[in-house]
């Protein structure tokens, strides 16, 4: 008890010291930053030298006073958070008036492709590097990644890439970035495991540093980062407190406020309140669910919904969910075990993530309860659960192939119960509806979010966003992670909570927000930030012109006009012949094809008779004459491609 009293006395002394120093933002030599505690000169000198190497330093890997210091800080937090007279922070502590630039390269005015750079002097750090999936008019495109032009020009300035969590819209672009730059990657255990799997598929390796919640580490001399646990729909999600020379930048990452998380790892609200009390210059916050009022339901609610469904069913259960949501997969496994059902896994991404999560301890299942998909025929229907991919109706997913009877192992039969533990991502509603219809046609009973609460979001609704704003109380605010309507609504929410509209900044990808300790200024179009399309192995080689041609081909097809010309004799030797693809069925439209040939022939002969010596001019004449003729007969505008051979 006497030790406890002594610690409290020391805490009160330290608190007074910190209050004296906080107005200037300067720290006494040999004192621990943020606490005002004295530490031995040797230890202080050792830490400073290690921090100034210019390379990234992960604190817990060095045998120093850091573990004990972290323990002492934990004792200070409740005392700090319990103060009742906490006024909004009007001025941000800062150590320098030199500007810091925040540059979003993705994730604004869109859902996905999240990537942000923070620049100070000759040092740059990156937050996340994700991808987005192609729009309906991006024919043949597999995925879309951020534009790395600015990052590659920075080159050796890059100090590291920090990952907030392991969803594709935050890590999907990492392999493509690492192919261009050797950047150290920092993140929690699970997202680093997912990235490692991606790199193996690309035949790559990378320098990776695992961090833990509450850990403080440095990137170069300019960025001191504290990783804080946050709740989301994937394990090991974090938000970031970033100390910069201009002040503190707080990045929420993707989050929701879940008071009863499945893994028991709750948000440290006391620490968030302490960060807000110490002063935050800029907050960047998730805007995905800002249009939704109220609160996002806890992940525990899904388990409460699924449990009675499993107990009452005597059928085979097939449940589709996101492969990355290992907490939900664990809940499904727990319910299956209670109902004495074996579990099988289907879908490549589901199998890969399941094996990784099981290896790292995020998923626990007795060996005798897990069965191979090929052995499911031997198990009675009422004793089997199949966890699969395809909750978004993806054409090649396991569930879609089951619905179309193309799956090599699982055949949907009458009486099967299929549960979609998800809601359609905007744009996927039609594909999900088609899969549901196919399943019902096969005789399956389909349960989805419109029927039962089989899914909860991983993003904060308005009341949770209000709580985050009230805890952090930033000087400036920049909404991120959302389309323009989401960003605007989030800006309005911040203004409703008392922020001045002059202190709220809605940026676009490629803009820059320049920060000093007392000001913020938006610079439009500061860097190049286009959407880079990935088509097979090609990265960035498909642009708007190619997409336009693909769109035209998909809408009206292609007509090829070929002919052989004797240039010296100035006469048509062979053809012209007309070949079509995706235009009309030739056997039923021979008259139209013959007439097109005649139009092309007359155009070529007319050009030759006028001594036209330019091949391109003849091609253009043929293209325009055939185009006018075809449109007059069919009201269609296919691509016309003249091909001439010189004899």
Query: Mean pLDDT score of the chain, rounded to an integer?
Result: 83
Q: Reply yes or no: is the peptide bond before residue 167 cis, omega within 30 of 0.
A: no
- Would you place residue 54 in the very low, low, confident or very high pLDDT band (cuts 50, 70, 90)? very low
Weakest mean pLDDT among 394-403, 528-537, 623-632: 528-537
Distance CA(509)–CA(531), nearest Å, equals 10
The more confident residue out of 272 and 50 is 272
The reported pLDDT for the residue numbered 582 is: 85
User: Where in the chain are the domains?
Assistant: 2-81, 100-294+458-535, 300-447, 543-646
Q: Is 592 helix (H, G, I), strand (E, B) or coil?
A: helix
What pLDDT does residue 24 have? 33
Mean predicted confidence (pLDDT) in 413-438 = 88
Q: What pLDDT does 298 receive?
A: 93
The CATH fold assigned to 300-447 is: Rossmann fold (3.40.50)
Structure confidence at residue 27 (pLDDT): 30
Kindly list the distances between the CA atom of residue 562 and the CA atoms of 123, 266, 599, 619, in Å, as whole numbers in the listed order. 58, 69, 13, 10
Q: Where residue 57 falls among pLDDT bands split at 50, 70, 90?
A: very low
| pLDDT for 262 beyond 60 | yes
CB 228 within 8 A of CB 269: no
pLDDT at 85 over 70: no
DSSP secondary structure code for residue 612 in this structure: -
- pLDDT above 70 covers what percent of the chain? 84
pLDDT for position 424: 81
R_g over Cα of the chain = 30
Say if residue 635's pLDDT is above 90.
no
SS3 541: coil
| 429-434: average pLDDT | 88
Among 350-354, 505-509, 561-565, 643-647, the range scoring the smallest mean pLDDT is 643-647
Closest-CA residue to 66 (of 271, 216, 223, 272): 216
H/E element holding 548? helix 544-556
Asked if the model's pLDDT at residue 430 lies above 60, the reply is yes
pLDDT value, residue 63: 34
Dump the DSSP string for 204-254: ----EEE--TT-EEEETTTEEEEEEE-B-SSSS-EEEEEEETTEEEEE--S
Q: How far apart are CA 72 and CA 45, in angstroms?
A: 20
- State residue 555's pLDDT score: 79
pLDDT of residue 36: 37
pLDDT at 38 over 50: no
Active-site residue identified among 459, 469, 481, 486: 459
Q: 543-646: which CATH topology?
A: Ubiquitin-like (UB roll) (3.10.20)
pLDDT band at 177 (very low <50, low <70, confident <90, very high): very high
Chain segment 583-620, per-residue pLDDT in tens: 888 888 888 888 999 998 888 888 888 877 777 888 88
Rounded CA separation 54/548 (Å): 47
Q: What is the pLDDT of residues 156-174, one digit of tens each?
A: 999 999 999 999 999 999 9
Give the strand pairing for 238-244 and 223-229.
antiparallel
User: How many angstroms separate the CA atoms of 603 and 597, rounded?
Assistant: 10
CATH fold of 100-294+458-535? Metallo-beta-lactamase; Chain A (3.60.15)
Rounded to an integer, the average pLDDT of 482-486 is 95
Tell me the pTM: 0.77
Give yes or no for residue 60 having a pLDDT over 70: no
pLDDT-derived band at 276, boundaries 50, 70, 90: very high
From 268, 286, 416, 511, the catalytic residue: 286
Angle between helices 269-278 and 462-472 (to 10 degrees): 50
Q: For residue 92, what pLDDT band results from cuts at 50, 70 and 90?
A: very low
d(CA 116, CA 135): 22
Digit-coded pLDDT (tens) for 204-228: 999 999 999 999 999 999 999 999 9
How far are the Cα atoms of 73, 106, 282, 308 from residue 102, in angstroms, in the given order? 29, 12, 10, 49
- Give yes or no for a contact between 526 and 507, defined as CB atoms under 8 angstroms apart: no
What confidence tier does 526 reach under pLDDT thresholds 50, 70, 90? very high
Which pair of tokens denotes residue 90?
Answer: 């009007």
608 vs 235: which has the higher pLDDT:
235
94-103, 191-200, 239-248, 538-547: least confidently modelled range: 538-547
pLDDT, tens digit, 9 for 90 and up, residues 306-363: 999 999 999 999 999 999 999 999 999 999 999 999 999 999 999 999 999 999 999 9
> Between the CA of residue 619 and those of 559, 577, 623, 647, what are the distances in Å?
13, 14, 6, 16
32-41, 163-172, 559-568, 575-584 — most confident range: 163-172
Q: What is the mean pLDDT of residues 138-151?
A: 86
At which residue do the structure tokens 């533990």 appear?
421
**Comparing 141 with 28, which gets the higher pLDDT?**
141
Residue 254 to residues 102, 169, 295, 546, Cα–Cα distance (Å): 18, 10, 15, 34
Average pLDDT over residues 563-586: 83
At residue 13, the pLDDT reads: 40
Strand, coil or helix: what is 159? strand
Structure confidence at residue 286 (pLDDT): 96
Q: Per-residue confidence at 645, pLDDT binned at 50, 70, 90?
A: confident
459 part of the active site: yes
**Sign of the CA dihedral 290, 292, 295, 301?**
negative
Over residues 512-537, the mean pLDDT reads 89
Least confident span in 60-64, 367-371, 547-551: 60-64
Instruction: Pick from 7-11, 88-92, 282-286, 611-615 the range whose average pLDDT is largest.
Output: 282-286
Q: What is the average pLDDT across 265-285?
A: 96
pLDDT of 185 strictly over 50 = yes
Query: Average pLDDT, stretch 453-458?
Result: 90
Say if strands 208-210 and 317-320 run parallel, antiparallel, or are unpaired. Answer: unpaired
Residue 644, φ and ψ in degrees, nearest 5 = -115, 140
Q: Which residue has the tokens 């930048």?
A: 249
Enumerate residues 6+ apart whose C-beta is below 8 A from 585. none
The pLDDT of residue 323 is 92
pLDDT at 93: 47
CA distance 95 to 234: 36
- Is residue 124 pLDDT above 90, yes or no? yes
- How far apart, in whole angstroms, are the C-alpha atoms of residue 99 and residue 634? 61
pLDDT of residue 361: 92
């Amino acid at each position: 008890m006497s030790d406890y009293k002594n610690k409290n006395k020391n805490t009160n002394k330290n608190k007074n010291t910190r209050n004296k120093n906080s107005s200037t933002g300067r720290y006494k030599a040999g004192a621990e930053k943020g606490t005002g505690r004295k530490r031995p000169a040797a230890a202080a000198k050792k830490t400073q030298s290690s921090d100034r190497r210019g390379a990234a330093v992960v604190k817990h890997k060095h045998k120093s006073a850091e573990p004990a210091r972290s323990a002492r800080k934990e004792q200070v937090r409740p005392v700090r958070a319990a103060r009742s007279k906490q006024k909004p922070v009007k001025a941000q502590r800062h150590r320098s008036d030199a500007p810091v630039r925040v540059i979003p390269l993705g994730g604004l005015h869109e859902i996905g492709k999240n990537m942000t750079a923070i620049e100070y002097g000759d040092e740059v750090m990156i937050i996340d590097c994700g991808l987005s999936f192609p729009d309906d008019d991006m024919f043949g495109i597999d995925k879309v990644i951020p534009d790395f032009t600015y990052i590659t020009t920075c080159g050796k300035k890059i100090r590291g890439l920090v990952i907030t969590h392991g969803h594709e819209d935050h890590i999907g672009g990492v392999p493509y970035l690492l192919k261009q730059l050797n950047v150290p990657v920092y993140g929690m255990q699970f997202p680093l495991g997912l990235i490692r799997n991606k790199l193996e598929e690309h035949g790559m390796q990378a320098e990776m540093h695992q961090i833990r919640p509450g850990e403080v580490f440095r990137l170069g001399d300019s960025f001191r980062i504290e990783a804080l646990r946050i709740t989301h729909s994937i394990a090991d999600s974090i938000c970031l407190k970033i100390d910069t020379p201009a002040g503190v930048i707080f990045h929420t990452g993707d989050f929701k406020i879940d008071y009863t998380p499945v893994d028991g790892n709750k948000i440290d609200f006391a620490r968030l309140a302490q960060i807000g009390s110490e002063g935050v210059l800029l907050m960047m916050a998730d805007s995905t669910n800002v249009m939704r009022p109220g609160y996002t339901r806890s992940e525990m609610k899904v388990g409460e919904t699924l449990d009675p469904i499993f107990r009452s069913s005597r059928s085979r259960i097939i449940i589709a969910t996101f492969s990355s949501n290992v907490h939900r997969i664990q809940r499904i496994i727990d319910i299956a075990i209670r109902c004495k059902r074996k579990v099988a896994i289907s879908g490549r991404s589901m199998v890969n993530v399941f094996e990784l999560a099981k290896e790292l301890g995020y998923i626990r299942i007795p060996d005798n309860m897990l069965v191979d998909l090929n052995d499911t025929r031997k198990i009675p229907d009422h004793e089997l659960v199949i966890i699969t991919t395809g909750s978004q109706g993806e054409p090649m997913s396991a569930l879609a192939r089951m619905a179309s009877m193309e799956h090599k192992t699982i055949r949907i039969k009458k009486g099967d119960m299929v549960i979609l533990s998800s809601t359609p991502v905007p744009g996927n509603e039609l594909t999900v509806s088609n899969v549901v219809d196919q399943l019902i046609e096969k005789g399956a009973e389909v349960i989805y979010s419109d029927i039962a609460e089989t899914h909860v979001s991983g993003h904060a609704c308005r009341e949770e966003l209000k709580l985050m704003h009230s805890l952090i109380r930033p000087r400036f605010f920049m909404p991120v992670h959302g389309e323009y309507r989401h960003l605007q609504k989030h800006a309005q929410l911040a203004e409703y909570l008392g922020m001045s509209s002059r202190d709220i900044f809605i940026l676009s990808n490629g803009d820059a927000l320049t920060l000093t300790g007392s000001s913020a200024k938006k610079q439009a179009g500061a860097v190049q930030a286009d959407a880079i399309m990935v088509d097979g192995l090609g990265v960035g080689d498909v642009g708007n012109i190619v997409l336009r041609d693909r769109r035209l081909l998909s809408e009206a097809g292609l007509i090829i006009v070929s002919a052989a010309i004797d240039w010296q004799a100035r006469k048509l030797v062979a053809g012209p012949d007309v070949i079509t693809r995706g235009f009309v069925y030739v056997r039923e439209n021979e008259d139209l094809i013959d007439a097109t040939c005649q139009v092309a022939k007359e155009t070529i002969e007319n050009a030759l008779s006028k001594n036209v010596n330019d091949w391109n001019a003849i091609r253009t004449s043929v293209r325009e004459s055939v185009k006018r003729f075809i449109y007059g007969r069919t009201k269609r505008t296919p691509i016309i491609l003249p091909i001439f051979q010189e004899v």
